Amino acid sequence: MKNCDLIIQSDYLVTMNDQFDVIEKGAVAVSGGLIAAVGPEDEIAAAYRSDKTIGGRHTVAFPGLVNAHTHSPMVYFRGLKDDLPLRVWLEDHIWPAENRWLGHEFVADATELACLEMLKAGITAFSDMYFYGEAIALSVKKAGMRAVIGAGILDFPSPAAATVDDYLANAERFIGNWRGDGRIIPAVAPHAPYTCSPETMKRAKGLSERYRLPLHLHLAETEWEVQEVLSRYGMRPVELLNHHRILDNTVIAAHCVWATDDEIGMLARSGTNVVHCIESNLKLASGIAPVVKMLASGVNVAFGTDGAASNNDLDIMSEMATAAKVHKAVSGDPTVLNAAQAMRMATRSGAGALGIGEKTGSIEAGKSADIVIAGLNRPHLMPLYDIYSHLVYSMKSSDVSDVMVEGRLLIEEGRPVALDEGAIVEKARYWGNRIREKA
Amino acid sequence: MKNCDLIIQSDYLVTMNDQFDVIEKGAVAVSGGLIAAVGPEDEIAAAYRSDKTIGGRHTVAFPGLVNAHTHSPMVYFRGLKDDLPLRVWLEDHIWPAENRWLGHEFVADATELACLEMLKAGITAFSDMYFYGEAIALSVKKAGMRAVIGAGILDFPSPAAATVDDYLANAERFIGNWRGDGRIIPAVAPHAPYTCSPETMKRAKGLSERYRLPLHLHLAETEWEVQEVLSRYGMRPVELLNHHRILDNTVIAAHCVWATDDEIGMLARSGTNVVHCIESNLKLASGIAPVVKMLASGVNVAFGTDGAASNNDLDIMSEMATAAKVHKAVSGDPTVLNAAQAMRMATRSGAGALGIGEKTGSIEAGKSADIVIAGLNRPHLMPLYDIYSHLVYSMKSSDVSDVMVEGRLLIEEGRPVALDEGAIVEKARYWGNRIREKA
């Protein structure tokens, strides 16, 4: 009989291991932040002892969800303007708001709200791309989550920097501050092929290679981008980055809505990780990424929410449900993107995209205890025939009750343990009022 | 100063009246089940006195949502089988399950679960099509909701009846029992043009006309149906019903996914009410209805969840969000189906489709007090710039706190008042276990 820090019991322990094992009346022993053992409840009870047991009857446990592409501080612009053409929305509303408001305090406060929203929705890790990475990292650290935090790079000035040299120097300083942290992974984030020249892309890539860190970028999001890149460089966006040897398995490429069959081949062969942000792509009328083809070609596809300004939430469960349904209609085949596959994309594929697949993304002995528990004893989850079906098609993020990262409970019975929800909500209201007055 | 039964106060009172008025710090005085007055909080406070006030700071109040097409007892088949081709799903799983299980007790118990799920999600009225209407009506009555309950009619035998004569006799008996009820409206529900001959359709229409009741049917749901109807009758489904003078403003036509421009014209001119069930249509890969064109042509389009077996929930907020996003991508225009329009479809258009637009669908003096209150003081709803945006793009049905029909509180602070949630969930588990054993 060994001691452990905590035991999780669950009617359905959805491991997301290679065999997609679901253990009915399963348990997990957690010790020193790691998963010590996984198995049937009675086996774990016979081998491990702990003062604390969570979960229990009428719950499901699954690996922490991964939000592989977001701009978390943009939660403060949630619903600022909707239902507008993309360029009007960006140029008349979002960019002016960013230029007016962005700064360390704004970004730190907004990121705390984003972390709280994500944690409550069962998200334990995310990949961010924005500015003021230092502020983002401090808030993520406080929240107890994992994040890949990309330092944004553009060919033009923004509140964060004036020149490409400045952006790169900021990125390198940020990397120096956070490299080696257990939960924060700094990254380099050249915005997109239409906002960063191939030269800038190559410099960003060089920086990411030097420190062996992810390269996070937008790619082939809109048809306009494809035409713009084609007219400037004579190549389509994916083709262009492939030509300049930017693509490999350290790249987190958001969107890829307009990837052709040839380009899907390039993404597959290079090992590029694609992040499917279906709700944002739908809402901005950007299009619907050929995800079924990408999966068939062996591309690693994860889910992302994009920023809350274009979504308007940070909810991976909702992305799973939307994607699993929309791709059936678009392909005319109700068997594509089944529930277990969607769940895999939201967990293991996400962890793989962030480069932390060895550490998280499934419930297996030796991995970090990044685990979510949700309640099943609810009218909208009755009756239950297939747990994957429920996770993808019926469950809401509001069913999440407990969330842990590295074995530390961050949400317990629906309430944050470390973060102060009342204070975070008050700060959001304060900033929201200021932004509204100037909008 | 007049006495009233109850006062609702809310930061945002979303009336859904003709002017789309939103009253900030608004109030509603409720008296005798009706809305006595609507206005700014201070005006209502000066004119009305009540022992009970609900809502308050950080809430939004809006008209009860309408689910204009569902098969509520199918909640017991939620997630029984997913990700299968439509015919396999229906013929190998759903129909055999129905043939084995359907009966008065099953339908009554399942409907109670459906009502509870809908109420908790802010749905106050729905239009149902199934069998054992008596059992459905009794459960709806117990739940305190409003419903149009269609007695199903088919050209072939089912557990409910053996011949068209039997189905029609059942329907007429059901009409006799419930006609004149304040909240239950019996209706005639010939299943679809591919399962009911024009002769059967005409007999069903005759019955609905005799009693001035709605005619609820499926129409042009799949491409297969179009081909089947074309090959049998030489006309497309909408065209066929138009030709036989079935279509008018008492018709509730679910789906209409495959309506051509000509057929959209027929729907518009006849005043037929179309129910858009986007999540079910996506999940079954049936296609995406041309809703933007329908709205532009003046068709009254409401939202429906369809049965929980193909959705897999009864959540109109989720339908709004999905529809508002998907149609932007499909039409390549982010300005279509804006948030206020989506909200209108979920409330007034739904009430209109059910033929109860005079009574419910908006918060206006003289209408029934069918009102929902939801909490806004939550991380995923922070900050707030536009209440319609939040209702459609950010809010979840789990944010609903209070729901009333005819001024009677059915959900109070998230919990059912009249229904016994524990007992309903236990019954669902009992039936689910029996169904699973035989599946």
**Tens-place pLDDT, residues B58-71:** 999 999 999 999 99
- Residue numbers of the domain that contains A23: 2-63+367-406
Q: Which residues of chain B have pLDDT under 70?
A: none
Answer yes or no: do A24 and A129 share one domain: no
Q: Do B439 and A385 touch (CB under 8 A)?
A: yes
Q: Model confidence at A87, in pLDDT bands (50, 70, 90)?
A: confident
Which of B323, B353, B383 lies at the terminal end of a domain, its last residue? B353
> Least CB-CB distance to B85: which of A324, A334, A390?
A334
CATH number of the domain within which A323 lies: 3.20.20.140
| pLDDT for A118 | 98
Q: Do A380 and B281 touch (CB under 8 A)?
A: no
3-state secondary structure chain A: CEECCEEEEEEEEECCCCCCCEEEEEEEEEECCEEEEEEEHHHHHHHEECCCEEEEEEEEEEECEEEEEECHHHHHHCCCCCCCCHHHHHHHHHHHHHHHHCCHHHHHHHHHHHHHHHHHCCEEEEEEEECCHHHHHHHHHHHCCEEEEEEEECCCCECCECCHHHHHHHHHHHHHHHCCCCCEEEEEEECCCCCCCHHHHHHHHHHHHHHCCCEEEEECCCHHHHHHHHHHHCCCHHHHHHHCCCCCCCEEEEECCCCCHHHHHHHHHHCCEEEECHHHHHHCCCCCCCHHHHHHCCCEEEECCCCHHHCCCCCHHHHHHHHHHHHHHHHCCCCCCCHHHHHHHHHHHHHHHCCCCCCCCCCCCCCECCEEEEECCCHHHCCCCCHHHHHHHHCCHHHEEEEEECCEEEEECCEECCCCHHHHHHHHHHHHHHHHHHC
- Residue A380 counted as domain residue: yes
| pLDDT for A259 | 98
Please indicate, yes or no, whether the overall pTM of this predicted structure exceeds 0.90: yes
Q: Model confidence at A159, in pLDDT bands (50, 70, 90)?
A: confident
A vs B, Cβ pairs < 8 A, gives 212
Three-state DSSP state, B190:
strand
Residue A439 has pLDDT above 90, yes or no: no
Q: Do A425 and B382 touch (CB under 8 A)?
A: yes
Question: B interface mutation test: which of A11, A80, A83 has the most B CBs within 10 A?
Answer: A83
- Residue B70 counted as domain residue: yes
- Residues A126, B2: Cα–Cα separation, whole Å: 55
- Residue B429 counted as domain residue: no
| pLDDT for B341 | 98
Answer yes or no: do A204 and A334 share one domain: yes
| pLDDT for B206 | 98
- Residue B393 counted as domain residue: yes
Q: Do B314 and A380 touch (CB under 8 A)?
A: yes
Q: Do A389 and B79 touch (CB under 8 A)?
A: yes
Answer yes or no: do A48 and A167 share one domain: no
Beta bridge partners of B60: B12, B374
A431 contacts in chain B (CB < 8 Å): 383
**Interface ipTM:** 0.97
Contact B182, B408 (CB under 8 A): no
Residue A415 has pLDDT above 90, yes or no: yes
Q: Do A313 and B82 touch (CB under 8 A)?
A: no
> Which one-letter DSSP state was computed for residue B64?
P
| pLDDT for B439 | 74
User: For residue A424, what are its two tokens?
Assistant: 């975070």
Answer yes or no: do A12 and A160 share one domain: no
Q: Do B85 and A380 touch (CB under 8 A)?
A: no
Q: Model confidence at A110, in pLDDT bands (50, 70, 90)?
A: very high
* pLDDT average, residue stretch A248-253: 98
- Residues B109, A271: Cα–Cα separation, whole Å: 51
| pLDDT for B87 | 81
- Residue A145 counted as domain residue: yes
Answer yes or no: do B132 and B205 share one domain: yes
| pLDDT for B247 | 98
For residue A359, what are the CA distances in angstroms to A177, A206, B167, B367?
A: 22, 26, 61, 58
Answer yes or no: do A73 and A32 share one domain: no
| pLDDT for A256 | 98
Answer yes or no: do A40 and A181 share one domain: no
- Residue A415 counted as domain residue: no
CATH number of the domain within which A19 lies: 2.30.40.10
Answer yes or no: do B17 and B123 share one domain: no
Residue A189 has pLDDT above 80, yes or no: yes
Phi first, then psi: what are they for A325, rounded to 5°? -85, -50
Q: How many domains does chain B have?
A: 2
3-state secondary structure B225-272: HHHHHHHHHCCCHHHHHHHCCCCCCCEEEEECCCCCHHHHHHHHHHCC
B324 contacts in chain A (CB < 8 Å): 283
Answer yes or no: do A58 and A127 share one domain: no
Answer yes or no: do A158 and A129 share one domain: yes
- Residue B372 counted as domain residue: yes
Question: A interface mutation test: which of B115, B221, B335, B382 has the most A CBs within 10 A?
Answer: B382
Residue A433 has pLDDT above 90, yes or no: yes
Residue A153 has pLDDT above 90, yes or no: yes
- Residues A134, A140: Cα–Cα separation, whole Å: 10
* pLDDT average, residue stretch A251-264: 98
Residue with tokens 């480069």, as numbered in its chain: A355
- Residue B385 counted as domain residue: yes
Answer yes or no: do B270 and B152 share one domain: yes
| pLDDT for A86 | 81
Answer yes or no: do A124 and A181 share one domain: yes
